[in-house]
């Protein structure tokens, strides 16, 4: 117990002795990790948005005009039997016309001039959740388009592909920026630990001379690194949360992009804890790097 108390007290003493360096390290780590956090937040929100958009994606299977009665039912049976399909809903030519009139009452006279109802009958298909990726959708559409009686299959493929591509880019940017800035955080914390090590060089020599193991000597510095990383990470979450709320407020005030603010969300608690742990890990890595660089622990 006394040993543990000693190790924790040493770590605390290190931080207090080099107070300015410690504060600077926490602040710079916090801003560095906040930059990574911005990308993560953007990535998370876009993925959520893409997910909810994909939930809503309906595929319109337009039928050939000549298709009647039994053959429509046969096609419906086929679609319902498809393992990729979750839901099928039939819209007859008359229902389509009715919907058009309801949605565009001002333009309904355009159709009257044509005499016969030009709108096709269709199936509105919702795919099962595991088949809503752009690739799966594309494959399904290509397959159904070749079915007899199907005139055309329509869905907002381009827009979904674009969104998927954008998410992929942001994911790559988040990984790239994350790696770069994490390395920066490791270096910042590593330098702080290095200063602490140099300041306590004599003390370390004394510890070595009385039979302290490498681990015993290193633990306070590992603890210090982990605490600095965790504090930096927690502070970066605080900065992000404030910035996030300000951004949301700004959207509400300007009235632009109304509806978007309801879709925006901050990291859930589990992710926040994971990020603090990640910060702790980076700090620990910083300690390891500096201990290796200074060559501490060699007997």
Partner 1 sequence: MDAIIQLIHVSKWHDRKAALSDVTLEIEKGEFVLLMGSSGAGKSTLLRMLFGEEQPDEGQIFVHGRNVTRLRPTEIPYLRRKVGAVSQDFRLLPKKSVFDNVALPLLVQGMPEKDIRRKVTEALRAVDVDHNKDQLPNSLSTGEQQRVCIARAIVNGPVVLLADEPTGNLDPEHTREIMELFKLINARGTTVIVATHDPHVLHHVNRRVITLVQGVLLSERRIGQGVGL
What is each CA distance from 238 to 25, 33, 152, in whole angstroms? 16, 11, 51
Q: Which of 95, 130, 213, 265 binds partner 1 (CB under 8 A)?
A: 213
Tell which residue, 52, 75, 51, 49, has the closest CA to residue 62. 75
Q: Is 6 in the site for partner 1 (CB under 8 A)?
A: yes
Q: Is 270 in the site for partner 1 (CB under 8 A)?
A: no
d(CA 4, CA 7): 5
Of residues 78 and 208, the one with the C-beta less far from partner 1? 208
Tell which residue, 224, 213, 235, 249, has the closest CA to residue 13. 224
Cβ contact 6:207 at 8 Å: no
Q: Which of 203, 246, 262, 292 binds partner 1 (CB under 8 A)?
A: 203
- The tokens for 283 are 């700090």
Q: Which of 3, 19, 109, 256 binds partner 1 (CB under 8 A)?
A: 3
Q: Which of 110, 166, 199, 206 binds partner 1 (CB under 8 A)?
A: 206
Q: Is 19 in the site for partner 1 (CB under 8 A)?
A: no
Q: Is 212 in the site for partner 1 (CB under 8 A)?
A: yes
Bridge partners for 89 per DSSP: 124
d(CA 116, CA 148): 24
Q: How far is the CB of 290 from partner 1 (least distance, A)?
A: 19
Segment near partner 1 (CB under 8 A); pick from 63-71, 126-134, 150-158, 210-218: 210-218
Q: How far is the CB of 217 from partner 1 (least distance, A)?
A: 9
Q: Which of 12, 90, 216, 266 binds partner 1 (CB under 8 A)?
A: 216
Q: How far is the CB of 11 from partner 1 (least distance, A)?
A: 15
Q: Is 12 in the site for partner 1 (CB under 8 A)?
A: no
Segment near partner 1 (CB under 8 A); pick from 94-102, 179-187, 211-219, 226-234: 211-219
Q: Is 251 in the site for partner 1 (CB under 8 A)?
A: no
Q: Is 154 in the site for partner 1 (CB under 8 A)?
A: no
**Concatenated DSSP letters for 8-49?**
HHHHHHHHHHTHHHHHHHHHHHHHHHHHHHHHHHHHHHHHHH
Distant-in-sequence, close-in-space partners of 190: CB < 8 Å, separation ≥ 6:
225, 285, 286, 287, 289, 290, 293
Tell which residue, 180, 191, 248, 163, has the closest CA to residue 35. 180
Of residues 20 and 299, the one with the C-beta less far from partner 1? 299
Q: How far is the CB of 207 from partner 1 (least distance, A)?
A: 7
Q: Is 205 in the site for partner 1 (CB under 8 A)?
A: yes
Q: How far is the CB of 225 from partner 1 (least distance, A)?
A: 21
Q: Which of 202, 253, 256, 270 binds partner 1 (CB under 8 A)?
A: 202
How many Cβ atoms from other residues are within 10 Å of residue 42's Cβ? 14
- The dihedrals phi and psi of 66, each to the nearest 5 degrees, come to -75, -10
Which stretches of the chain bind partner 1, using CB under 8 A?
1-3, 6, 13, 202-203, 205-214, 216, 298-299
């Amino acid at each position: 117990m006394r040993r543990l108390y000693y190790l924790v007290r040493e770590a605390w003493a290190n931080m207090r002795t080099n107070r300015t360096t410690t504060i600077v390290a926490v602040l710079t780590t916090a801003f560095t990790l906040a930059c990574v956090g911005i990308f993560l937040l953007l990535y998370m929100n876009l993925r959520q948005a893409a997910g909810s958009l994909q939930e809503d994606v309906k595929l319109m299977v337009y039928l050939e005009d000549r298709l009647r009665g039994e053959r429509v039912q046969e096609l419906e049976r086929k679609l319902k039997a498809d393992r990729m399909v979750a839901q099928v809903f039939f819209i007859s030519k008359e229902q389509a016309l009715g919907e058009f009139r309801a949605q565009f009452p001002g333009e309904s006279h355009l159709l009257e001039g044509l005499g016969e109802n030009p709108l096709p009958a269709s199936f509105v298909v919702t795919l099962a959740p595991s088949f809503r990726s752009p690739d799966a959708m594309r494959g399904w559409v290509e397959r159904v388009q070749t079915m007899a009686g199907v005139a055309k299959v329509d869905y907002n493929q381009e827009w979904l592909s674009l969104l998927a591509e954008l998410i992929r880019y942001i994911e790559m940017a988040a990984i790239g920026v994350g790696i770069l800035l994490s390395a920066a955080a490791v270096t910042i914390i590593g330098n702080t630990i290095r200063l602490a090590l140099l300041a306590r060089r004599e003390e370390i020599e004394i510890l070595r001379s009385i039979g302290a193991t490498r681990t015993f000597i290193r633990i306070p510095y590992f603890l210090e690194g982990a605490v600095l990383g965790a504090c930096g990470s927690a502070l970066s979450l605080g900065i992000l949360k404030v910035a996030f709320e300000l951004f949301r407020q700004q959207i509400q005030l300007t009235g632009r992009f109304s509806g978007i603010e309801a879709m925006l969300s901050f990291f859930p608690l589990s992710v926040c804890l994971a990020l603090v742990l990640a910060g702790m890990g980076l700090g620990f890595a910083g300690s390891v790097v500096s201990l290796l660089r200074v060559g501490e622990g060699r007997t």
